[in-house]
Structures are given as structure tokens and as C-alpha cells.
């Protein structure tokens, strides 16, 4: 009888050790499952962010195609709309278009400005980021009323903006790519718009070519 008590204690101690090992194995399995769940959630969040960024960029590209593409339309008097531009911005005069609910001629400016970021205390442009800004104003406002531009950031926190213009720099000259356009009588045939992002930014901007001049 004296040997039975230690035997039962050894058996009970053995079951306790097995239960501990089982609990550790279950805890490890739960940890692995939670880690995989976090990784999957993180991947889904990154994919959603990339999709949102791609949709934002595509929306801006479509907007610029519609806006600058209307330079191909002549004014009511037959004259061509005008455009003046440099490597980092442009100013275009858009003719009236009733289909687009634009009863008067508009002066549209596209430029890059230092980004203010998301924090009110951020110093504009300190981190090297810019915003793509579009301003619109009536070219000929009603008498007695100033031309008040309406400015809107159409794409935030970009790394840079580069523009090129394809066309004949003078009458009878051969069309070439130019870093600036200043002909007062006609717009260039093509405008190329390139937007750069910081290396950490997942957004991408393929070169955008917009045809402006339909020909003679």
C-alpha cells in the first residue's frame, strides 16, 4: 500500500506535463494563425491603397485629356485657342463650349506648388513634395467684376512636374519637341505631361500625350 501513493502522484504529474505541452502547441498554432491573419490584412490594405492611388492618377489623367483636349476646338470667330507653357507649367485659353457648359472663354493654369502636406504645421515644400494645382478664371469677366481664379489641387504630394511641347516653333518650320511654347497664333500639336512621385510612393504616372492641334 505504501507504493501506491507515489505511483498515483507520478501518473498525475505525467498527465500535467502532457497537458502543458498540448497547451503550448495550441498557443503556438494560434500565434501562427494570428500572424498569417495580420499579414493577409496588411497585404489587403496595401493592395487597396495601390488601387486607390491608381484610380486617383487615372482620374487626373482623364481630366487633363478633357481639359487640354478642348484646345483642338476653334473659337466662334475661327481663331485657334492659345497656349503658353514652360517645362513646369502652362497657361491655356479654352474656347467657349456649350456642350461642356462653358459659356465664356476660360484661362486655365496648370502648375506645381509646394505641398502643405497633411499637417497644418508643415512648412510648404520643406520635404521636397509638391501639389499639382489647376486654376481657372474667366478670360473676359463681366464688366466691373474682377477675374477671380478658382484654384484646386488636382493631385497632391507629387515629386515633380515636367512638360514638353511638340510643334513648329514658327510658320513653315519643322515640328520638334520643345521645352517651352510661346507661339501666339496656335497651340502646339502635342503636349507631354510627366509627373514624378517619391520612391516610397506607390503611385505611377506613365507619360501622358495630349493632342491639341487637329491641323490646318
Kindly report, residue by residue over 74-116, the tens digit of the pLDDT.
666 777 778 999 999 999 987 766 555 556 778 899 999 998 7
User: What local confidence, expressed as pLDDT, does residue 120 receive?
Assistant: 42
Q: Which candidate, 180, 183, 189, places its Cα nearest to that of 211?
A: 189
CA gap 71, 96 in Å, rounded: 10
Residue 168 phi/psi, 5-degree rounding, is: -85, 120
Place of cell 491639341: 212
The pTM score is 0.69
Mean of the per-residue pLDDT values of the chain: 78
- DSSP 3-state assignment of 9? helix
- Residue 206 scores a pLDDT above 80: yes
- Residue 181 scores a pLDDT above 70: yes
Say if 133 falls within a structural domain. yes
Q: Tell me how long the chain is.
A: 216
- Residue 73 scores a pLDDT above 80: no
User: What local confidence, expressed as pLDDT, does residue 68 receive?
Assistant: 87
Is-contact 187 92, C-beta < 8 A? Answer: yes
Number of domains in the chain: 1
- Residue 124 scores a pLDDT above 50: no
Say if 177 falls within a structural domain. yes
Say if 71 falls within a structural domain. yes
Say if 127 falls within a structural domain. yes
User: What local confidence, expressed as pLDDT, does residue 202 receive?
Assistant: 87
Say if 104 falls within a structural domain. yes
Say if 130 falls within a structural domain. yes
User: What local confidence, expressed as pLDDT, does residue 48 receive?
Assistant: 56
Domain boundaries, position 93: 60-211
Say if 23 falls within a structural domain. no
Say if 39 falls within a structural domain. no
User: Tens of pLDDT along 23-71?
Assistant: 777 878 787 777 776 776 655 555 555 667 789 999 999 999 988 887 7
CA gap 133, 59 in Å, rounded: 15
- Residue 19 scores a pLDDT above 60: yes
Amino acid at each position: 500500500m505504501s507504493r501506491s501513493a507515489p505511483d498515483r502522484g507520478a501518473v498525475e504529474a505525467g498527465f500535467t506535463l502532457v497537458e502543458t505541452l498540448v497547451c503550448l502547441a495550441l498557443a503556438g498554432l494560434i500565434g501562427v494563425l494570428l500572424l498569417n491573419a495580420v499579414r493577409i490584412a496588411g497585404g489587403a490594405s496595401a493592395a487597396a491603397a495601390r488601387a486607390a492611388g491608381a484610380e486617383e492618377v487615372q482620374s487626373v489623367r482623364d481630366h487633363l485629356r478633357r481639359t487640354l483636349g478642348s484646345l483642338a476646338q476653334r473659337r466662334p470667330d475661327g481663331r485657334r485657342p492659345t497656349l503658353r507653357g514652360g517645362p513646369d507649367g502652362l497657361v491655356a485659353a479654352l474656347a467657349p463650349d456649350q456642350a461642356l457648359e462653358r459659356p465664356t472663354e476660360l484661362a486655365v493654369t496648370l502648375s506645381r506648388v509646394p505641398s502643405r502636406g497633411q499637417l497644418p504645421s508643415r512648412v510648404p515644400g520643406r520635404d521636397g513634395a509638391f501639389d499639382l494645382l489647376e486654376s481657372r478664371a474667366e478670360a473676359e469677366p463681366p464688366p466691373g467684376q474682377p477675374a477671380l481664379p478658382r484654384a484646386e489641387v488636382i493631385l497632391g504630394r507629387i515629386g515633380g512636374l515636367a512638360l514638353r511641347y511638340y510643334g513648329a516653333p514658327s510658320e513653315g518650320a519643322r515640328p520638334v519637341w520643345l521645352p517651352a511654347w510661346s507661339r501666339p497664333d496656335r497651340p502646339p500639336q502635342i503636349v507631354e505631361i510627366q509627373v514624378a512621385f517619391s520612391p516610397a510612393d506607390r503611385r505611377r504616372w506613365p507619360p501622358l500625350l495630349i493632342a491639341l492641334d487637329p491641323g490646318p
